[in-house]
Amino acid sequence: MGAPTAHVLDTSLRPEIELLLCCVDSTVDRAKAERIGRLLRVDLDWAYLLQTAEQHGVTPLLSRSLRTISPHDVPQAILEQLQHHSRTNAARNLFLTDKLLNILRLFEAHGIPALPYKGPLLTASLYGNLALRDFADLDLLVHERDYQRTQHLLRTNGYRLVNSFEQESTFIDGSGMITIDLHRRMTPREFPVPLQFEQIWERRQQTTLLGTPVPTLSPEDTLLMLAVQITKDAGTRYLQLSRICDLAQLLSAYPHLDLTAMLRRAKALGGERMMLFSVSLAHNLLGMPLPHDIVDEMRAQPIIDPFVEFARQQLFNGRAPNANDRQSIEQFRRFVRERLRDRLHPYYRRYVQAVFAPCFLDRQLVPLPERFTFLYYGIRPIRLLCKYSLLLFRRHLGTKLC
């Protein structure tokens, strides 16, 4: 596996981005506060800073830091804009959190165990304050066996299915204000870290939302989930700084989380590279402190570094990925599939489906009653074998005649 396609990188960060990275860190120490003070004396493009913060879902964190550390160095109009955003965000978060509690009550009344995660749960458990993070939708994980029943329940309670993927479906309520992402798996198949519902449920912890105890992922499962999310979106416009802040905040909020043990667990699940990559990216961007053995492990796998640098550059370049970027993203996605079976998986699915899944022609060639349709899975490979043998034979015959 090679490194990603070479790019000419601009390694210097704009002062606005540097300021943003200092402000979103929950542990602003004296050195960082001084750096923020220095950066605030530079001629800043405030419109760009505010736009970038909003794009990355970190306006509440930026607002808090600027108001706390150096409010007199920030133009009053900017402080007011930030504060307005923080207030409306807090009100929206309260609204969505209340809706989440209603949905959980509905599921409970129908005997459906559900684990909410991301959104309000991350905000409350990591930041200790529902106002400190932007979120727009509600993510819920249910057991595979309850997935269809839960979809039906949502539909009969005023939610409309708007999107459906292999591992999740999206519902919107009648007012258009509430979006629910219902998951039957937490990670897509292309990013293979098999987290089974039963095990996640066994390890679940409780967080309090608006005075109500709510089950959610353990910190260990949250770390794995974040690592997969960051890896999945790396290099694309979907990766937000807020996600990387969540990872850093998780390690800060749970200082006893054994990162070395977590790396071993991730390796067993085929996600060691995803974990190393996401931790390394958070370390690189936010200066998140890391244990020595993790740093050693990162040094032992220097191949990750160019991918981290690529993701870092892509995060703030503000443009859609070009052909080179897309190539790098593809290389990166191949790179994070550590095990042979994971590397083969996307191809396996594509080809197995092409060979065995019956199509219109198979049904037309051999019409079968409904109860015998399983036979098509044998008929199709035979038909394809005949078809391509014939083609080969004709080509061979053609060559001979010429």
Residues that bind another protein (CB under 8 A): 60, 64, 67-68, 83, 86-88, 90-91, 93-95, 97-98, 129-131, 210
Closest separation between CB of residue 95 and another protein, Å? Answer: 6
Element (H, E) at 372: none
Q: How far apart are CA 269 and CA 294, in angstroms?
A: 18
Q: How far apart are CA 99 and CA 285, in angstroms?
A: 34
**Cβ atoms within 10 Å of 238's Cβ, excluding its own:** 10
Closest separation between CB of residue 281 and another protein, Å? Answer: 28
Please calculate the CA angle 161-228-12 and round it to the nearest 5 degrees: 115
Closest separation between CB of residue 202 and another protein, Å? Answer: 31
Q: What is the DSSP string of 255-286?
A: TT--HHHHHHHHHHTT-HHHHHHHHHHHHHHH
Closest separation between CB of residue 100 and another protein, Å? Answer: 12
Nearest to 338 by CA among 273, 278, 276, 280: 273
Closest separation between CB of residue 63 and another protein, Å? Answer: 8
Q: Which is nearer to another protein, 60 or 235 (CB)?
A: 60
Closest separation between CB of residue 188 and another protein, Å? Answer: 32
Q: Which is nearer to another protein, 124 or 269 (CB)?
A: 124
Element (H, E) at 153: helix 147-155
SS3 at position 371: helix
Nearest to 95 by CA among 138, 60, 154, 43: 138
Q: Which is nearer to another protein, 101 or 379 (CB)?
A: 101
Q: How far apart are CA 59 and CA 16, in angstroms?
A: 13
Q: Which is nearer to another protein, 3 or 253 (CB)?
A: 253
Nearest to 216 by CA among 156, 126, 152: 126
Q: What share of the chain is helix, strand, coil (3-state, %, to 5)?
A: 60, 10, 30
Closest separation between CB of residue 283 and another protein, Å? Answer: 27
Q: Which is nearer to another protein, 96 or 281 (CB)?
A: 96
Q: What is the DSSP string of 72-93?
A: GGS-HHHHHHHHHHHHHHHHHH
Closest separation between CB of residue 90 and another protein, Å? Answer: 4
SS3 at position 226: helix
Pairing of β 138-142 and β 114-117: antiparallel
Q: Which is nearer to another protein, 13 or 90 (CB)?
A: 90
